[in-house]
A and B are shown apart, each in its own frame.
Chain A
Amino acid sequence: MKAHRDRRAGIGCSALTGVVLGAALFFAGAAQAGDMKHPDFTGMWLGSNLGGGPSLTNGHKSTSWPNPPPLTEAGKKAMAEFDVKTDDPPERCMPWGFPRDVVFNFYPMQLFQTKDELLMLFEYEPIPRRIYLDGRDYPTDIPPQWFGYSIGHWEGDTLVVHTKNIREDNILTTNGLPQSAKMEVTERFRLLDDGKTLEVKVHAVDPVYYTKPLDLTVYWGRSNVEQHEFVCAEGLEEQINVPKSRQDDTIDEDLK
């Protein structure tokens, strides 16, 4: 994050000191932020699952989890017992988490890349996802996380990210495809179309619930949309999944 702040400070200066100096500072900042040896994913991205579909992602079409899913007996049982009204975290304004946030890409995602970290800001989520690129190892003493714990390394122009420590009280899809605490996910990020498209190949292995690995590919297109605040709790009281007793159905005098 520090490197990112440096870069923003550089952009701020450019307004005061002129285009040439500003550009110099910008590129100095960029050199600090990324490492120039690898593609830079920094920017705003829109997913092809949004209404616009492949038109947002230069013609690339995202795929879905395999259908039918290769469920183990435990997977079939978990799916049969799934009740969307009680077992889907976003119903309670909890995060979509991982891997759902990457796969189900209705909202713009902003990426900030430094040589040590790739930070993902999802419009829907109150928390960022962190992918560590600094060579650290997985911790052994933190509880399962909504985004798991992600560590990445470069293979040429592809960023390979491996994630574990995922929460088992989350699901892959709203129809209840389960994920266990043993699920581990490998993502392969690369830029296509001169940097205009981000491809993410997702490979999930979960021996508890699936007989085979699950694969899909998600595409994001570079975009200039803004992210706005999304505070799930703010309008929650008006939603159908909130008990009627919590809703105010008073009709004001001027509408009578």
Chain B
Amino acid sequence: MKRSVFFAALALVLGGVTPVVAHHSVTAYFDMKKDVALKGEVDEWVFKAPHAVLKFVVKNDQGQLELWRAETLPSNLLFRKGWRFNTLKRGDPVTVYGHPSIDASRHAMALSKIVLGNGEELNPMKDIKARE
């Protein structure tokens, strides 16, 4: 399964407010003043407590693959908004928007939204339709 993956870090102005989520502080770990967008493909959608995490693979500008984690609301809260364990599947092409880790050695971000290959936008603060 050959897919084109590439890396893009963009300064973006995103609407809305990233929520204060449970378990751990967001502002202590993520730079909420910075925005990034990374294009890649899904490794694993970890639909669990204490925060759901999208693990995805991107190719950096040296051509190396990197595993990234985008953290979002706890799975229980997402479930009530229509998200499911199979909302994202391994290999799905995604563009992931978020606020990067303050510690630049961590390939992690606080998720703002996900844009799927077909252009559909998944925002954890909004209700979505559960998928088949």
Contacts and interface: CB of A to CB of B under 8 A. Distances in A.
A93 B76 contact: no
B69 interface: yes
Interface in A219-238: 225, 228, 230-232, 234-236, 238
B12 interface: no
Contacts, number: 95
Interface residues of A, number: 34
- Main DSSP-derived SS at the B contact region: loop
A123 B67 CA distance: 31
A228 B55 contact: no
Contact of B108 (A123, A228, A232, A240): A240
- Main DSSP-derived SS at the A contact region: loop
A75 B80 CA distance: 38
A107 B76 contact: yes
A240 B69 contact: yes
A88 B80 contact: no
A159 B101 CA distance: 46
Interface stretch (A9-17, A139-147, A190-198, A246-254): A246-254
| Best-surrounded residue of A123, A239, A244 (most CB of chain B within 10 A) | A239
Interface of B: 1, 19-20, 22-25, 28-30, 41, 43, 46, 48-53, 55, 57, 65, 67, 69, 71, 74-77, 79-81, 90-91, 101, 105-108, 125
